Amino acid sequence: MALILIVDDQNTNRQIYSQIARRIEDGTDVVTCAGSHDALKWLDHNDPDLILTDFNMPGMHGDDFIGQIRANPRFADVPIIVVTVFEDRNLRLRALDAGATDLLISPVDHREFVARARNLLKMHRQSQVLSNRASSLLESLKKSESILAWTQRENESRLVNVINTLPVMVSATDVDGCFLFMNSNKANYLGLKAEDVVGRSCTEVLGEQVAERNTAIDQLVIASGTDLRSFEEEIVSSKGTRKIFMTTKSPLIEGKRVIGVVTSSQDITDRKAAETHLHHMAHHDGLTGLANRSLLRDRVDREIGRCRRGDGRFALHLIDLDGFKQVNDVHGHATGDELLVRVGEQLRNVASPNDLVARLGGDEFAILQTNVKNDTHVEQLGQAITNAMPDAISLIDLSTSVTASIGIAVHPEDGNSFEKLMSNADQAMYKTKAASGNGFCLYATNLDARAEAERRVDDALKAALDDRRFELLYQPQVDLKSGDICGCEALLRMRGEDGALIAPADFLARAERNGMIMPINEWVIYEACRQGAEWHSKGYTDFTIGVNLSPVQFQRQSVPLLVARILAETGMPAHCLDLELTESIVLHDRKQVAQQLSQLRTLGIKISIDDFGTGCSSLSYVKHFPVDRLKIDQSFVRDMLKNPSDTAIVRATINLGHSLGLEVIAEGVEDRAVANALLLEHCDRAQGYYFSRPAPADEFEQAMQKQLRYGTRLVESLQEPA
């Protein structure tokens, strides 16, 4: 059983070190002293197996204290661990010169303390065995003591340089962003000298752009006093080499005060490359390099999520080669494989950059056509695919005729799921084959029927506007830490003539195309602001109402003027209105949109990026547009506990948002497990069926009333596990 003496003038440190020390081995006994003099008195009558002492204590310098211990022959070989700060090299050398066995850097790493203490106790016990041997072993003992002295001298050199030899880039900065320390690994990578960076600002050492981002993240650590969850970042070396690092930032604490931030970055470039390769293999066809069915399904599901409010369309083109079997039979499978590769190349050429080309197996391909404007847009791609087949054949000089039969299904008209769209596209493709192939066919081949259906939707929209049959439902947004309602999203519904509520996916896409979205969205903004002003007057002031904007509004009118007028008419406070943007808005005049958003921000209105992560332009929002919040799309949130890729996307979005000073909201939270996971990832807000389904204004008001009067929350506060 080991007896350990801990000497530190800080009561908190003594308690922490005591708890750690008891984990070294079973039966460990710990004695603590608040000062050097008390410790020396205790040592007069006791023999510890290990001593841990702070170097800087009032009353006696650390080297004097160690020297007095070593002056007593009883304690000549008792291990003494000194706690000191790593940037003060002089103190470390003084401690080692006085007889310290080992050093720990403050703040103390718990695992390092336990590991080093175990090793020193083992060494001490071996030394005791040697010292108790008979005099006949005196020469051996002297030799062992000589080895021990040599080991101690070697430890001095190793401990001084250990931080510099770690295979991790480590640095520390103070609260003002000036470097306190940088290890050799990081300095060498950045082409610097470690001793030259101390006292210099991050901007001076790293450059303005890198320093600005690092300082913003450091301030979050300083403000919270807690570790920042590890995040991936790309760091460029002095030679222009780009590597991926896993970076962790922790507060540097002195007493109870945060005095800086410690940053450690581990090179994970090779691991990321392996992960990328494995991910590519799992989601791509081995022969052509195109996406496979799994990736196509994932992209279609995400497109459905992006278009779920009806503010977008996409088409699925299913392509089957006519005469491919004959190529294999006549020319062999090697030629057949080469033809498949050439077909894949031609499909890439005719597809747009935002489209996805996939090989589903055999001679079957597909193209996911995004951002469809109209049926003509779809037909143009179908014709381009048809025209591309002769080029693919000419590249390998085939005498056999090969054409393509193409079937096309359009979302949302022809299906609201991957399976339905594939089935309908398959039916359309077989109609093409039945008509001798070499062409394309839309699933809704009866264009008159489609036109009639659109006319009925037009009539229903006009009647709903005339009869005021549009309604708003409100879905709460909840603060994940407290469980309080902190906002809501206004969701549009249309009530049919039979009294049933109609979801926006069934009418908004048509409203976008026929222009009726303008009066509809103007009514939505007005009604949300009117209701918000009413709630504000009743004392429900600490929340925002989110309203979705249509890209058509930015094209056809001044949104800032419209919103300013509505705010003035309703009395809604500007800071309580949260306008939500989708990716389709950025597809138009970016400069004009950015200008209008800046004007809205000047009014005090909040701007959110909705469905963040579903499109390739998501980061363009952050870079070019003034925004306040990121809303993580529900397609990532819903399966984040089952799909590691979704978890990584959610985590990266939260870290990105926080590093830019943005609030992050997760959509589509349907159970407590996901809500807890989001809390652990430090997400700010969430909304979804777990908290509440969209509700009429009076029901939503009742929930706020209970919270305001009685403190009743939608859910009990979520707690991070200890």
Q: What is the pLDDT of residue 625?
A: 77
Residue located via tokens 């009925």: 456
pLDDT above 90 for 102: no
Domains recognised in the chain with CATH numbers: 3-163 (3.40.50.2300), 169-271 (3.30.450.20), 293-445 (3.30.70.270), 452-710 (3.20.20.450)
Write down the number of H helices and E strands in the chain: 28, 24
Mean pLDDT, residues 524-537 taken together: 94
- The rounded distance, in Å, linking the Cα atoms of 227 and 253 is 11
Q: What is the pLDDT of residue 314?
A: 92
- The rounded distance, in Å, linking the Cα atoms of 351 and 366 is 11
Q: Where is average pLDDT lowest: 208-212, 281-285, 549-553? A: 549-553
- The rounded distance, in Å, linking the Cα atoms of 561 and 648 is 40
Mean pLDDT, residues 236-243 taken together: 90
Mean pLDDT, residues 575-580 taken together: 93
Strands 314-322 and 403-411 turn out to be: antiparallel
Q: What is the pLDDT of residue 382?
A: 93
The pLDDT tens digits of the residues spanning 547-557 come to 998 877 777 77
| SS3 at position 361 | strand
pLDDT above 50 for 225: yes
pLDDT above 60 for 155: no
> Which one-letter amino acid corresponds to residue 218?
D
The pLDDT tens digits of the residues spanning 449-493 come to 667 777 888 898 999 988 899 999 999 999 988 888 999 999 999
Burial (CB < 10 A; 0-12, 13-18, 19+), residue 505, is: middle
| SS3 at position 327 | helix
pLDDT above 80 for 75: yes
Q: What is the pLDDT of residue 277?
A: 79
Q: What is the pLDDT of residue 313?
A: 85
Q: What is the pLDDT of residue 531?
A: 95
pLDDT above 90 for 579: yes
Q: Where is average pLDDT lowest: 394-398, 443-447, 656-660, 692-696? A: 443-447
- The rounded distance, in Å, linking the Cα atoms of 576 and 540 is 11
Model confidence band, residue 405 (pLDDT cutoffs 50, 70, 90) = very high
Residue predicted with more confidence, 165 or 297: 297
pLDDT above 50 for 126: yes
> How distant, in Å, are the alpha carbons of 7, 21, 32, 45, 113 from that of 15?
11, 10, 9, 23, 14
The pLDDT tens digits of the residues spanning 613-628 come to 665 445 656 666 788 8
Residue predicted with more confidence, 154 or 256: 256
- The rounded distance, in Å, linking the Cα atoms of 482 and 145 is 61
Residue predicted with more confidence, 134 or 357: 357
Q: What phi and psi values does residue 180 have, to the nearest 5 degrees?
A: -95, -25
Model confidence band, residue 86 (pLDDT cutoffs 50, 70, 90) = low
pLDDT above 70 for 327: yes
Q: What is the pLDDT of residue 174?
A: 93
pLDDT above 80 for 402: yes
The tokens for 428 are 């359309």
Q: What is the pLDDT of residue 159?
A: 43
pTM of the model: 0.54
> Which one-letter amino acid corresponds to residue 156?
E
Model confidence band, residue 713 (pLDDT cutoffs 50, 70, 90) = low
Mean pLDDT, residues 664-682 taken together: 91
Which range in 143-152, 345-354, 587-596 is most confidently predicted, on average pLDDT? 345-354
Residue predicted with more confidence, 450 or 27: 27
CB count in 10 Å sphere of residue 147: 10
Mean pLDDT, residues 402-421 taken together: 90
Residue located via tokens 């077909």: 343
The sheet carrying 439-442 orders its strands as 356-361, 364-369, 314-322, 403-411, 439-442
Q: What is the pLDDT of residue 565?
A: 94
The tokens for 630 are 């990121």
Q: What is the pLDDT of residue 195?
A: 86
pLDDT above 80 for 653: yes
pLDDT above 90 for 656: no
The tokens for 617 are 């332009």
Q: What is the pLDDT of residue 710?
A: 62
**Run of H or E including 524:** helix 517-537
Mean pLDDT, residues 495-514 taken together: 84
Residue predicted with more confidence, 557 or 222: 222
Model confidence band, residue 588 (pLDDT cutoffs 50, 70, 90) = low
Q: Where is average pLDDT lowest: 157-171, 470-484, 487-501? A: 157-171
The tokens for 296 are 């196509």
DSSP label of 308: T
Helical H segments across 351-416, by residue range: 375-394
Average pLDDT score over the chain: 84
The pLDDT tens digits of the residues spanning 680-699 come to 888 999 999 999 999 999 99
Residue predicted with more confidence, 62 or 41: 41
Helical H segments across 22-132, by residue range: 36-43, 62-71, 89-98, 110-131
pLDDT above 80 for 564: yes
Mean pLDDT, residues 160-171 taken together: 76
pLDDT exceeding 90 applies to what percent of the chain? 35
| DSSP assignment string, 624-652 | HS--SEEEE-HHHHTTTTT-HHHHHHHHH
pLDDT above 90 for 571: yes
